[in-house]
């Protein structure tokens, strides 16, 4: 990755994300309309920024007995909006096989349990709106 792009990505992605993942693609797409939504709600962006990330090739716990076994299907998570545009992280985890052909994967804690949000976004929403369910424009 170009060093300048890496600096920008570090500013935009959840903390430590680039230590574990490589940014492989970025797309800006028009936001899909739900149901019979004729016009965009005031204050909502018509675009969604899609950031695609693949787990790097560092083996869990630096184990030498593992061999690559492809990636998991992509999972999508919400992150902080950028300039009012919704941000979706599409994350593929790397799978490894040990000597007994058992799948092994690294453990990460950048996603808030029981949500589809980054921990940073979930903490922000909890502070802003309390513990109640939040169904705002970015979640």
Q: What is the pLDDT along the chain (139 residues), one digit of tens a residue?
A: 778 888 888 888 877 788 888 999 999 999 887 765 545 455 556 899 999 999 999 888 888 899 999 998 998 888 888 888 988 989 898 999 999 998 888 876 655 555 556 666 666 666 765 665 555 554 4
- Rounded CA-CA distance 96/69 in Å is 5
- The verdict on residue 134 lying in a domain is no
| Segments forming the whole domain that contains residue 94 | 3-31+45-129
Q: What is the pLDDT of residue 38?
A: 47
Taking the model in full, what pTM does it have? 0.72
- The verdict on residue 137 lying in a domain is no
- The verdict on residue 139 lying in a domain is no
- The verdict on residue 96 lying in a domain is yes
- The total number of structural domains in the chain stands at 1
- The verdict on residue 69 lying in a domain is yes
Q: What is the pLDDT of residue 77?
A: 84
DSSP symbol at 136: -
- The verdict on residue 115 lying in a domain is yes
- The CA angle 45-46-50, to the nearest 5 degrees, is 90
- The verdict on residue 81 lying in a domain is yes
| Helical segments of 27-137, H only | 119-129
Closest CA to 26 of 8, 44, 3: 8
- The verdict on residue 136 lying in a domain is no
């Amino acid at each position: 990755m170009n060093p300048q792009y890496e600096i920008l990505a570090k500013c935009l992605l959840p903390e430590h994300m680039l230590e574990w993942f490589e940014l492989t693609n970025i797309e800006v797409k028009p936001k899909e309309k739900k149901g019979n939504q004729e016009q965009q709600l005031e204050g909502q962006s018509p675009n969604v920024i899609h950031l695609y990330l693949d787990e790097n090739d560092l083996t869990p716990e630096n184990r030498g007995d593992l061999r690559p076994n492809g990636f998991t299907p992509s999972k999508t998570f919400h992150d902080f909006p950028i300039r009012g545009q919704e941000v979706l992280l599409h994350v593929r985890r790397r799978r490894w096989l040990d000597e007994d052909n058992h799948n092994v994967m690294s453990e990460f804690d950048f996603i808030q349990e029981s949500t589809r949000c980054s921990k940073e976004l979930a903490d922000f929403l909890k502070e802003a709106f309390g513990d109640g369910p939040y169904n705002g424009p970015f979640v």
